[in-house]
Amino acid sequence: MVHARRVGDDSEETIQIGNLPRNYLLHVPEGVKNKPVPLVLVFHGGGGHARNMPRFTGFDALSDQEGFVVAYPDSVNKSWNDTRELSPADDVAFIRTLVAHLQKILPIDPKRVYATGISNGGFFSQRLACDLTDKIAAVASVAATMPETLVPVCKPSRPISVMFMHGTADPIVHIDGGAILRGRGRNVSLAEASSFWRNFDGTPSKPETHDWPDKAHDGTTIHCDTYSGGKQGVEVVVYTIEGGGHTWPGGTQYLPKFLVGKVTRNLDGTQTIWEFFQRQHLP
């Protein structure tokens, strides 16, 4: 491992995967000693990089408040290998090695490792739910469903809890599925992705529903469907953001609305994802 330098409140680290050095940012809150703590892996979107993600999501501040470790991995060519052939890298091997490495140097609880990300990072989190189910307790995808290419090859080794957060006005990854903007493959609809996991996890067909109050008056509203009571106690949770765009709920308006759509202020995505993760652990 190479301790390259600090980036804000995080350390920039490198591990070797075969002949390829792989980089990530690491945030360890004060007071982490010998007591087992959760690990949250946060994946950037296509064209992005890890350095954007602490400020973009606010996970560092929540990590300090709640006492979990956060890692922000970097892709090889600004794209994760989520089965859409956007990258030749073996990113699943990278994350498997990274988790094992962090468990050696920090008191990471092996039953409480989680993955989340936006867009390409959200799609890759779905791949980890399929291919790294023995290490990942739950995943949460923002502005991402599942790649069409992932669905037929997704063979999880156990039931796993999954969350989606998706805007109805996402202009890049359409909620109803189809071609992803800029020729980056195709995605299944949010309904199909949810159905895939509900069928695999054996959850009830009817969800508990909840509509959040419109406190922000920003042109977005929040609807949540929770399918609990799956095998081994897992659940599938779907947040539909009416009027929301290709954005992180409660995050920054990182590009103009005409390019990516609206950021909802009616939902704190980071806090909600963490509350979901807190309910999940490996058997």
Residue 217 DSSP SS3: coil
- Kindly report the pTM of this predicted structure: 0.96
Strand duo 37-43 + 221-227: pairing = unpaired
Half-sphere exposure of 89 (CA within 13 A, CB side): 24
Tens-place pLDDT, residues 75-95: 998 999 999 999 999 999 999
Q: Specify the CATH number of the domain 2-278.
A: 3.40.50.1820
pLDDT greater than 60 at residue 4? no
Tens-place pLDDT, residues 171-230: 999 999 999 988 899 999 999 999 999 999 999 999 999 999 999 999 999 999 999 999
Q: How far is Cα 155 from Cα 200, in angstroms, rounded to an integer? A: 9
